[in-house]
Structure 1
C-alpha cells in the first residue's frame, strides 16, 4: 500500500514539473510585435521641416528725433494704423519754451535790422551830400549786414525749434501693424531710442533658422512648401529671398527669409509655419526620432534581419519635426524598428 502511495506521489511530481516546463516554454516563445520602416532613398523620404514665423517684408523700428517724457500712448500691440496717425507723444512744454525764446530772438533781430536799415539810408544821403566820409558809410553798411545775418540766424533757430516741437509726436510713416511696443507713458526716452516696431502692409514672409550644413541644400532647393499650424490643409509655395551672411553667435544657425508666392487668406503676423525643402536628386535618409537608441555618446538603430534585431551605430545630421537625417550607417532596403526601441535587446526575435 505504501509502495502504491509513493508511486502516486512520484507521478504527481513529474506531472507538475512537466506543466511548469510547458509554461516556461510558452513564456520564452512570446515574440514581440514591432513597428518597422524600410529605408529607401530619394522621393520616399520626406525632408524634415524647419519651423519658422510669419514676419513682414518691411519692418521699421520707430524712434523719436528728440528726447523727453512720454505723456500719451495712442496705440496697442496689434493696432492697425494709417500713414500720419499719431502713435506716441512726448511732453512738449520745454520744447515750446524753446520755440517761444527763439521767436523773441527773431523779433529782436528784426527790430535791429530795421534800425540798421534806417541808419544806412540816412548816412547814404549824408555821403551823397559830402557830409561824411566813405569809411563812415561803410561802418553803417556793415552794421546793416550784421543785423541781416542776425535775423537769418534767429529765424533758423526758430525753425529748428518748431521742428523739435513737431518731433514731440511720433507718427506712422506708412500703413501697417504695430508689432511691438517698448515703452510706456511716463517713461523718459532719448532721441533715436527704439520705442515701436511697425510692420508695413504688403508682403509677408517666413523667417527660419538653418544649420550651417544645410545652407547649400537651401540655396539649391528645387521646391519649397510652407504649411501653417493655424491653417490646416493649406500649403503655400515659397522662394528663398535672403540668407544672413553670418551665423548667430549663440545658436550657430543662419537666418533665412522665405517669401510666399501665393500667401493664403487669413495669414497673420506671428503665425507658426513649417518650411519643407526638397531638392532634385536628393538621396538623403530620414527616420523618425523614436527610432534612435542612444548608448553613451553613440546613436544607434535596431536593424531587423531574418526576424532578429541587431544594434547598428549611425551618424546623424539635421534634425527636423520628429525626424532626423542619417548621414551614414543605413542603406536602401534596411528594415529598422521605429517604435519601442528601449524594450529590445541584441539578437531578440521580433514579429513584423
Structure 2
C-alpha cells in the first residue's frame, strides 16, 4: 500500500488557504456592515412656524393730520430806529396795549445833546443870514448911487444865498435830531397783545433790532408745515377742520389762506396758514392746533405691520403664503406710522402674509402656520 504522507500534506495546504479565504470574506462583510451603519442618518428639513396675517378689505378714505400752533393774522416785530441803551420797559408778556402806548424807552441823554447842538447851529445860521441880508441891503443902496461896482454887489447877493442855505441845512439837522429824540420812545402802532419780548432794561440794542412782537387783535390762524406731496391736496381741499389739544371739545372750521412759495431749507416742508372761522374765545395764541385734511377720492388703503417688510436691495417686499409655500412679492409702500406701513400696490384682499421672522425664509420654502392662521 502506498504511503499516506503526500495526501496529508496536500490536505493541510488546502485547509490553510480555505481558512484564509474565509477570514478575508468575513472581514469584507464586517467592514461593509460597519460602513453601512456608521453613516449619520439623513436629517429631515425643519419646517419653520410663522406668524401670518390676512389682508382684509381696504378702507375707503383716509384723513391726514398736521400739527401746528395758533398764531395771529397780523404780527409785527417792533424795533427802535436809533441805537442806545434801554432804560425802561413798560409792558410784560401778554399785556394788552393800545395804539400810541409807550412800550420801551432808550436813554435819551446823548440824543438830547445832539438836539441842543443842532439848535445852536440853527441860531448861528439865523444870525449869519440876518447879517448877510443887512449887508446886501446896504450895498444895493450904494450900487444905486454908483458907489460900488456890479461885481461887488454880486458877492453880497451870493453871500446872502449861502447864509440862507446854511440856515436850511441847520434847520434840517435840528429836525433830524428832534426826530431821533422822539425815536428813543417805542410806541405801539396798533391795538394788540405782546407775544414776545427779546430785550430787557439795561441792554444796548442797535437800530432795527427787534425787541418786541405784538399780535394785532382780530383774526387767528393755525400755522402748520405740509410736505410737498400733499400741497395740491390741501390747496384743493373743500373742508378743513381744526382741533386743539387744550380744548378737546372745540372743533373749528378752517380755510386755507396762504401757502409759502418756497420749501423750508431744513425740513423741506411748506409753511401753510389756515384761517380759523369763528374760533371760541378760549382759543389763545400759541395753543397746539391740529388741522384735519380728508383725502380726496376713494383711495384704497392697506396697512401692514412694519415687521412684514423684507427689503431686497432697494425694493421692499413681503412674503406671501400660498398652500403653505412662501413666495416673495414686491410691493409699493406709502406712509409710516404707529408701527405700520401703508401698502399702495402689490397686495390684494385675502392674501396671507408673514408678519414675523421674514429674514429667515427663502423662496419656495414650506412653512407651517401658527394655530388659528390659514394659508
TM range (shorter): 0.7 to 0.9
2: distance between equivalents of 1:226 and 1:336? 38
TM-aligned CA deviation for residue 109 of structure 1: 0.4
Partner of 2:243 in structure 1?
227
Partner of 1:349 in structure 2? 371
Which of 45, 59, 79 is the matching residue for 1:41?
Answer: 59
In structure 2, what is the equivalent of residue 209 of structure 1? 225
Distance in 2 (CA, whole Å) between partners of 1:304 and 1:227 is 43
Over aligned residue pairs, what C-alpha RMSD do you find? 3.5
Confirm whether residue 189 of structure 1 aligns to residue 211 of structure 2: no
CA distance in 1, matches of 2:280, 2:300: 30
1:275 is matched with 291
2:307 counterpart (259, 268, 293): 293
For 2:262 and 2:63, the matched residues in 1 are separated by 24
Q: Flag the structure with larger Rg.
A: 2
- State yes or no: 1:107 paired with 2:129: no
Separation in structure 2 between the aligned mates of residue 274 and residue 305 of structure 1, nearest angstrom? 43
2:143 maps to what in 1? 127
Q: How big is the shift at 1:328?
A: 3.3
> Could you tell me which residue of structure 2 aligns to residue 28 of structure 1?
none
Give how far 1:284 is off. Answer: 4.9
Aligned pairs for 1:1-352 (under 5 A) are 38-43=56-61, 46-285=62-301, 287=303, 291-293=305-307, 315-318=332-335, 325-331=342-348, 347-350=369-372
Q: Secondary structure at the match of 2:283?
A: coil
Secondary structure of the structure 1 residue equivalent to 2:132 = helix
SS in 2 for 1:42: coil
Task: From the superposition, tell whether residues 120 and 151 of structure 1 become closer, same or farther in structure 2 (CA, over 3 Å).
Answer: same
- Mean Cα deviation higher: 243-252 or 109-118: 243-252
CA contact (8 A) 1:74 1:88 kept: yes
TM-score of the superposed pair, with normalisation by structure 2: 0.72
Q: Deviations over 1:234-287 (max 9, x none)?
A: 211111111112211211111111112232231111111111112442415275
Which structure 2 residue ranges, 5 or more long, are not aligned? 1-50, 361-366
Please tell me whether the aligned partners of residues 225 and 269 of structure 2 are also in contact (alpha carbons under 8 angstroms): yes
Residue pair 2:72, 2:219 contacting (<8 A) in 1 also: yes
Given that residues 238 and 258 in structure 1 are in contact (C-alpha distance below 8 angstroms), is that contact kept between their aligned partners in structure 2?
Answer: yes
Between the aligned partners of 2:67 and 2:278, the Cα distance in structure 1 is 19
Using a 3 Å threshold, how does the CA distance of structure 1 residues 246 and 94 change in structure 2: closer, same or farther? same
What do the CA deviations read for 1:106-158 (whole angstroms, capped 9, x no partner)?
00000111111111111122222222222211111111111111110000000
Residue of structure 2 equivalent to 1:13? none
Q: How many pairs were matched up?
A: 311
Contact preservation (8 Å) 1:71, 1:90: yes
Shift of residue 195 of structure 1?
1.5
The answer to whether the 8 Å contact 2:258/2:273 transfers is yes
Note closer, same or farther for the CA distance 1:304–1:60 as it changes in structure 2 (3 Å cut): farther
CA distance in 2, matches of 1:304, 1:230: 47
Per the alignment, residue 23 of structure 1 pairs with none
Question: Structure 1, unaligned stretches of length 5 or more?
Answer: 1-31
- Deviation sequence 1:205-251 (CA, Å, 0-9, x none): 11111111211211221211111111222211111111112211211
Asked whether the equivalents of residues 41 and 332 of structure 1 are also in contact (C-alpha less than 8 Å), the reply is: no
Q: Is the Cα contact below 8 Å between 1:242 and 1:257 reproduced in 2? A: yes
Partner of 1:9: none
- Separation in 2 of the partners of 1:194 and 1:51? 28
Equivalent residues of 1:292, 1:300 under 8 A apart: no
Q: Aligned in 2, Cα 1:243/1:208: closer, same or farther, shift over 3 Å? A: same
- Structure 1 residues 66 and 249 mapped into 2: Cα distance closer, same or farther (>3 Å)? same
Tell me by how many angstroms 1:349 deviates.
2.9
